[in-house]
Amino acid sequence: MYHLYSETILNHTRHPSNWGILDPADLESEANYPLCGDHLHLTLRLDDHQRITAIGWYGDNCAISQASASMLGEKVLGKSLTEVRQIGRQDIFDMLGIPLPQNRVKCALLPLQVLTVALYGQAEWQKLESEEE
């Protein structure tokens, strides 16, 4: 029998890391994935060396999107913007650790989209999205 949610995904959904909006925040972004009903709002703080010192997110999203946001937040905390720029779609899929049906791929990538737009702008996300399709 195929199970969509691994124990890791369920743990991140039940006990998400970095849950909540930062106030004040240096950067923020939000986006929706209307087909699933996902909405994600992400906030970030950076230090003088352009390292992510705090990340917070809030969303009404499915388990895949919540787990992805939680895991991505853990991955980028303390990293420089140069290091974060190297994170791509496959990193998200690897973190989730399960094969995703096509209708769940955008759910999983919503946190990466919101992070990319917050740090580098919408054009950078569109570039990343088109390169990896």
| Alpha carbons 34 and 97: distance in angstroms, whole number | 24
Q: How far is CA 74 from the centre of its chain?
A: 10
Q: Are 13 and 71 in contact (CB under 8 A)?
A: no
In a domain, 25, yes or no: yes
In a domain, 38, yes or no: yes
pLDDT digits (tens, 9 = 90+) for 7-35: 777 677 788 899 999 999 999 999 999 88
| Side chain identity at residue 126, one-letter code | Q
Residue 1 belongs to a domain: no
Q: Residue 23 falls within a domain, yes or no? A: yes
Q: Does residue 39 sit within a domain?
A: yes
Q: What CATH number is associated with residue 17? A: 3.90.1010.10
Lowest mean pLDDT, pick from 11-15, 46-50, 110-114, 123-127: 11-15
In a domain, 76, yes or no: yes
Q: Is residue 2 part of a domain?
A: no
Tens digit of pLDDT for each residue in 68-121?
999 999 999 999 999 999 999 999 999 998 888 888 899 999 999 999 999 999
Domain extent for 97: 7-131
The total number of structural domains that make up the chain: 1
pTM over 0.75: yes
